[in-house]
Structure 1
Amino acid sequence: MRKWTLAVLMAILLVSIPVASANASSLPPTFVSVVLDGKKIWFPDAQAYIDANQRTLVPVRFVAESLGAKVGWEGKSRTVPISRDGQDISLAIGSATAIVNGKQIELDTQAVMTGGRTFVPLRFVSEVLGAEVKWEGKTATVLIQTKELSEADTDEWGRLIRKTNLPKNAADYPYILADLPNEMYELAYPYSEPTDRRVTAKLYSNVPEFTKANIDIWMGRLKAFGGLWLNVDYRSIDDAWAQAVFATKMQNSNAELKYIRKYVDWVKSNKIQVAGYLEPEPSLIYKDGFGSYHMRVKFRLKFISFDKQERLIYDEWFPQNARFEKNVWYEGYSDIKMTTNVGGDWGSTLKVSPTASLFNNQTISKVE
């Protein structure tokens, strides 16, 4: 894999990532997945994202430590010292210059601090930390590589496949990923009619719409939906958010847009702030017996602010007896329903279902 230049990366970003034109600053940023040497980095809180200037920013501590570096913090100077393979690196918040063994390296944008974490431009990973970088625009994924991976050992998305310690239902899937625990595979399937349900292995082998090109589209829509769905702020939410959520979903009319707008009003009056993300897994898709598909996701979310514990996210299955603590991270797995109203070659048309829920079929627990 060759190293991609900054110009190429930015050109792909501009072409591949949809950006809301109306009042875009009120919308959450596009969150980015990061895969390092075939394994997804599961960030504990701060997520990589694309900023308003279409530059990809990654949390430097988690990426650098995953590459074997030691990362510190000097509060007085607001500087991040990094040491790796005989290199001494210094990066100051608000600066677009990295110092590597006394030599200056100019970056395309400055390091920023968000939510108590330091974010650096993607160029920092390639030019300062020396890793090769590839960008997958349709799924908003950064592939970072420090070693060659065999195609036989990875799936089409560059993820490592494992052959040992398999889940009990391994035969239901085309392969098992190295960076996913068995509990994610063994989560019960959503309720369905047994005569017409299909597990992932059968979908991949028998349904022509199950191509990488189509699944990339589905994941892109689901990630865009999740980025909006799990990130709301009563201080900035507006109709642009409502329309952006509506655009990710399969609709026959504008009826649901009215309900989304009512939720926006509720967010404002209930002073709701929620932060979170979800990561769709392309090899974990299930067809129920009623014509819908369910893509399994890993999610993490935090309820920062609210007056009443009611409808904290736009979800008709939001538990009525919810007792979520404020400013505590929760995580789990869920099956998100996706549907289409197109017959024949429906592959590119699958969208998030109007009845999609984080809580209909899930596991969730407080992060300790």
Structure 2
Amino acid sequence: MKRRLVSLLIVTLFGSIFSLTASAASKPPTFVSVVMDGKKIWFPDAQAFIDENGRTLVPVRFVAESLGAKVGWESKTQTVPITRDDQSIVLTIDQNVVLVDGKAVTLDTKAILSGGRTFVPLRFVSEVLGAKVDWDNPTDTVFIKTSEDSAAQTDQWGRLIRTTDLPKNASDYPYILADVPNEMYEMGYPFSHPTDSKVSSVLYSTKPEFNKKNVDIWMGRLKAFGALWLNVNYNTIDDAWTQAVFATKMQNSDAELKHIRRYAEWVKENQIQMEGYLDPEPSMIYKDGFGNNFVRSKFRIKLVSYKASNDLLYDEWFPKKQTFEKGVWYEGYADISLSTNVGGDWGSTLKVDPNASLFRNHIIRKADSN
């Protein structure tokens, strides 16, 4: 991974990648991962994204507080005061002029209000608060550094490795991450062939396909699929959305496309609207012995509206008895399957399996409201 300090050139860099297009149902939002001092920031609801101008916007509260700042909200003036020590920043919603220690600074991106969260340009807030920011293009990840620790161990994705308080099955994994709870590691594995299944520590040490280039491709496909799969709106869903979902999957037959089209019609009929994201963890891959590789992923999902509670997600394992409250965020972990119909050097061909499910092997609960 080649890192570069954020400068004015990053505007050009961000402009070359995907943008968030709210008006087009077929284009999923490009969610950005944020890693600070080796630990991923797990946003509780609204995710960092790239806007139509190619700038990265983040929920200000969580990033600024992680940088040691205090964040307020003034509803009358629609302003967001941010303070740390003797520094002061005041952002105003829908304006690109910001007060920094009492002096006006003009931004190239406005602070916006979306989903009850204030989004601000990551580059500006980080630089003003004294952090170093780098960008990794293959994984759409922003790295924020507030300090240097030469003794810290990180993986090839820049994540901090821990060596204490390990999960019971730590040997199943190539390493244990500081920002991942033991609960996620200790989940059981999906149904598998007992003699041919392999845990990630074996896959990474013995299989040549498990290199960073290939894994980045797999994770990118999973994130693109999740952005479509978990974000539907009966007002905007169209056949372009159907085709986009189909394109992320291992296409064994046109029957899959027909099933996705039927679901899209059901979204309209049932007035389904949902928001969510899928965040796959590249170090947690499990081979079941039947041709599928399951990637353990963190997810959040909120059902905004629906009439009937059945088949809210395009997922044959969607629970028939569990009722999802409207407007409530749910979170958990799920094993999402990837497969290929190519033999030999199959690394770059792995795509989302037609039977991929959020509920086949999972943990789910209501999310914290903060």
Instruction: Name the SS of the counterpart of 2:157 in structure 1.
Output: coil
- Where do 5+ consecutive residues of structure 1 fail to align? none
* Kept in 1: contact 2:15–2:53 (CA 8 A): no
C-alpha distance in 1, partners of 2:279/2:78?
Answer: 32
Indicate the SS of the match to 1:154: coil
Residue identity in the other structure for 1:5 = S
Superposition pairs of residues 224-239 of structure 1, within 5 angstroms: 224-239=224-239
User: How large is the Cα RMSD of the aligned pairs?
Assistant: 1.9
- Is 1:322 aligned to residue 322 of structure 2? yes
2:189 is aligned to: 189
SS where residue 348 of structure 2 aligns?
A: helix
When structure 1 is superposed on structure 2, of 53-62 and 149-158 the one drifting more is: 149-158
Letter aligned with residue 13 of structure 2? I
Q: Match of 2:79, as an amino acid?
A: T
Moved over 4 A (4+): none
SS, match of residue 195 in structure 1: coil
Q: Secondary structure at the match of 1:30?
A: coil
Instruction: Decide which moves more: 111-120 or 97-106.
Output: 97-106
- Aligned 1:1-368 pairs, distance under 5 A: 3-7=5-9, 9-17=10-18, 24=24, 27-150=27-150, 153-368=153-368
How far 1:97 moved relative to its partner?
2.0
Preserved CA contact (<8 Å) 1:17 1:140:
no
How many matched pairs? 366
Distance in 2 (CA, whole Å) between partners of 1:87 and 1:151 is: 30
Distance 1:71 1:94 in 2: 18
* CA deviation profile, 1:280-311 (whole Å, cap 9, x unmatched): 10110000010110000011111110000111
In structure 2, what residue type is equivalent to 1:219?
M
For residues 241 and 149 of structure 2, the distance between their equivalents in structure 1, rounded to whole angstroms, comes to: 40
CA-CA distance at 1:344 after TM superposition: 1.5
Q: Give the drift of 1:26.
A: 5.5
| Structure 2: stretches of 5+ with no match in the other structure | none
Deviations 1:195-224 (A, max 9, x none): 100000000000001111111111111011
Label 1:54 to 1:18 Cα distance change in 2 as closer, same or farther (>3 A). Answer: closer
Q: Aligned-pair distance for 1:182?
A: 0.4
Aligned AA (2:107):
L
Residues 21-47 of structure 1, C-alpha deviations (whole Å, 9 max, x = no match): xx7365442111111111111111111
Identity %: 66
Counterparts of 1:189 and 1:331, CA distance in 2? 19
Residue-by-residue CA offset, 1:80-102 (whole Å, 9 max, x unaligned): 00101310110000111221111
Distance 1:71 1:19 in 2: 26
TM-score (normalised: structure 2) = 0.94
Amino acid at match of 1:11: T
Alpha-carbon distance change, 339 to 26 in structure 1, aligned in 2, over 3 angstroms: closer
Conserved? CA contact 1:37–1:146, under 8 Å = yes
Separation of aligned partners in 2, 1:81 and 1:123: 17
> Match of 1:153, SS?
coil
Counterpart-to-counterpart distance in 2, 1:134 and 1:110: 21
